[in-house]
């Protein structure tokens, strides 16, 4: 085992939900409160919404650039959502994992399935976030004010399709209360970080325990 492996915790936390269920805010809250986590910033061919900043919410790119990135193999997974292309840049994910950090992904069910099927799939912990009701979901989309009435209706259709994939996730949460939901995700992260497979560093600690055991036994004499 080399040093890179020794430090690798390899948590890939995938958050999916229908658009408007609060997943992006939850993802941001999570990385803000845990310095070991970084957010994967996706690439998309859709236009920025008001207030979105290139490189923060997304890297906004042309179809041509997106196709080139895919052809170059620098996209870990990609899918078409609402007629636009979305994809996860590979480099930042590998860098974060190699530095022993966890990565949070805000991707749809297609992204989750592809990440699981990728060579990094064993690191994936997938959480699906449900809205408390369909009425609330629609209300959130309308009050967000980022979509036309036609778009909201399309997003609601797609929301039901996305919800249909909840069984493909390791954990399912209902986002009734933002704080509680964020705490629940933090709990999942805390538990998953302690999986023995994610703690290669623990072998050295167990060696210390063995050495201590041997030395105490030696002290006791015959």
Contacts with ligand 5GP by CB under 6 A lie at: 19, 42, 46, 77, 79, 81, 86-88, 106-108, 110-111
DSSP annotation of 139 reads H
Distance CA 91, CA 40 (A): 10
Beta carbon nearer to ligand 5GP, 86 or 169:
86
Q: Minimum CB separation from ligand 5GP for residue 114, in Å?
A: 7
CA-nearest of 66, 76, 72 to 117 is 76
Strand, coil or helix: what is 68? helix
Q: Minimum CB separation from ligand 5GP for residue 131, in Å?
A: 13
Q: Minimum CB separation from ligand 5GP for residue 58, in Å?
A: 7
Q: Please state, as a whole number, how many other Cβ atoms lie within 10 Å of the Cβ of residue 15.
A: 25
Q: In the chain, what are the helix, strand and coil shares in percent, each to the nearest 5?
A: 50, 20, 30
Q: Minimum CB separation from ligand 5GP for residue 143, in Å?
A: 15
How many degrees, rounded to 5, is the angle at CA 219 between CA 217 and CA 220? 65
Beta carbon nearer to ligand 5GP, 34 or 69:
69
Looking up tokens 């949070």 gives: 104
Beta carbon nearer to ligand 5GP, 68 or 210:
68
Beta carbon nearer to ligand 5GP, 19 or 175:
19
- Going from the C-alpha of 71 to that of each of 63, 66, 78, 114, 144, the distances in angstroms are 12, 9, 12, 17, 35
- Phi/psi for 130 (5° steps) reads -100, 145
Q: Minimum CB separation from ligand 5GP for residue 151, in Å?
A: 10
Q: Minimum CB separation from ligand 5GP for residue 112, in Å?
A: 8
Beta carbon nearer to ligand 5GP, 123 or 195:
123
């Amino acid at each position: 085992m080399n040093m890179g492996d020794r430090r690798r915790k390899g948590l890939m936390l995938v958050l999916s939900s229908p658009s408007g269920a609060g997943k992006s805010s939850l993802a941001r809250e999570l990385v803000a409160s845990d310095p070991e986590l970084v957010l994967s910033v996706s690439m998309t061919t859709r236009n920025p919404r008001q207030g979105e900043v290139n490189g923060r919410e997304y890297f906004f790119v042309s179809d041509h650039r997106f196709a080139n990135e895919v052809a170059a193999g620098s996209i870990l997974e990609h899918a078409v959502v609402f007629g636009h292309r979305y994809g996860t840049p590979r480099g930042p994910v590998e860098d974060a994992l190699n530095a022993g950090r966890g990565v949070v992904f805000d991707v749809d069910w297609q992204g989750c399935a592809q990440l699981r099927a990728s060579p990094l799939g064993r690191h994936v912990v997938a959480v699906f976030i449900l809205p408390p009701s369909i009425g609330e979901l629609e209300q959130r989309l309308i009050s967000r004010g980022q979509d036309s009435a036609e778009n909201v209706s399309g997003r609601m259709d797609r929301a039901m399709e996305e919800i249909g994939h909840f069984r493909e996730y390791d954990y399912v949460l209902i986002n009734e209360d933002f704080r509680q939901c964020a705490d629940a995700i933090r709990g999942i992260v805390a538990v998953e970080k302690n999986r023995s497979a994610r703690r290669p560093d623990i072998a050295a600690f167990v060696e210390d325990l063995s050495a201590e055991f041997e030395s105490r036994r030696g002290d006791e004499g015959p």
